[in-house]
Amino acid sequence: MDHFHYQNSELHAEGVALRSIAEAVDTPFYCYSTATIEHHYRVFTEAFDGVEAEFCYAVKANSNLAVIRTLAQLGAGADVVSEGEMRQALAAGVAPGRIVFSGVGKKPAELSAALAEGIGQFNVESTAELETLSSLAAGAGLRARIALRLNPDVDAATHAKITTGKAENKFGIGWPQARDIYDRAAQLPGLEVVGAAIHIGSQITELGPFEEAFGFLVAAVEALRGDGHDIRRLDLGGGLGIPYGQEEPPSPAQYGALVRRLTAPLGCRLVLEPGRVIVGNAGLLVTRVIYLKETTNRCFVIVDSAMNDFMRPSLYDARHQVVPVREPREIPALQPVDIVGPICESSDTLARDVPLPPLVTDDLLAIRSAGAYGAVMASTYNGRPQVAEVLVNGNRFAVVRPRQTLAELLATDRLPDWLQADPAKGAA
């Protein structure tokens, strides 16, 4: 469910016409719906009513401060994978004790910063990280609450680039090695072993991989408790998929029922890290048609957004619905077209064989389900400034990230002193 709908033949985000936003901020731009974010968060959390659980929004899905703040006001914590994401969560109002620091490559400086802030949990992914965190915590006279991230060697049946729970992936610690590392953690200063963590991937559309992974985790916790470890927190990660098109992923209620059935006997506090399932369908990328180009066998719609703005189709072969911002008043003949951007790469294709009504220059299109892994993965490739982000709330909207100007883009570079002379005037 989302709050994007046609009204008087114009696509709206809640009570605001997307065309009016385009007139105010130009294109392309990302548009997020507050009502959709709030609805998805409530549906997800209600699936765990009566369960002792924390919900830590996965900031990597969409790190805009306004999005994080919207969720923090609903009671969400944050799952972060860098000091930068931790700073974003803190700036958005997330309490330090409700932040989980995940990720396979936390630098010592990042660990020290997180210790100083008093974050709630570190998900440790290797012996080397464990030793480093212990040294830093003990040296600062602090105590880090940790969970080890376990690798269950489970195929999440998702895209190879977003699966994280197989033995060949860089994430987590396999069993029985993890058992030895728990014993080591119990002996190290500055650490408090509180839990076990798992995360097997993203955009998972079946319950089977979750059942296998969580079953593995429950058995591991039972063994660890038998070894004398006080495991009282289960971090189940995220990964629940959303419908981009024809997919029919499990509902949060179905997912919650599975989690309850498998984990209830342990009596642990749960940590859940939803990301895409909260914000994915809460965002659109609005783009403008620049040119139409027909070849002998293709019709290309060239738009002003590109793979630097929205990487998912190029990186993951992701398919997104594309719809006109102005709804045709009559049912037209649809033509399959490729939506492409201005980047000098053949991979700069945002959608292929999309059936759309006849288009002309300056028509607006909306790429749906772009709220997760959209703006957060953007770059300035080809000298293209990063686009604006807008948050809608009822009949109001606000620019929550201004469009980068060319002057701001140029200002990020610095010339060394030996290149300061103007080449047009010759060497000094």
Contact between 153 and 311 (Cβ < 8 Å)? no
Q: Rounded CA gap, 288 and 238, in Å?
A: 34
In the block, tokens 């991989």 appear at: 209
Residues 6+ apart with CB under 8 A from 89: 59, 68, 72, 78, 80, 99
Q: Rounded CA gap, 41 and 216, in Å?
A: 27
Contact between 207 and 239 (Cβ < 8 Å)? no
Q: Is 56 a catalytic residue?
A: no
Q: Kindly name the residue from 31, 268, 299, 344 that is annotated as catalytic.
A: 344
Catalytic residues: 344
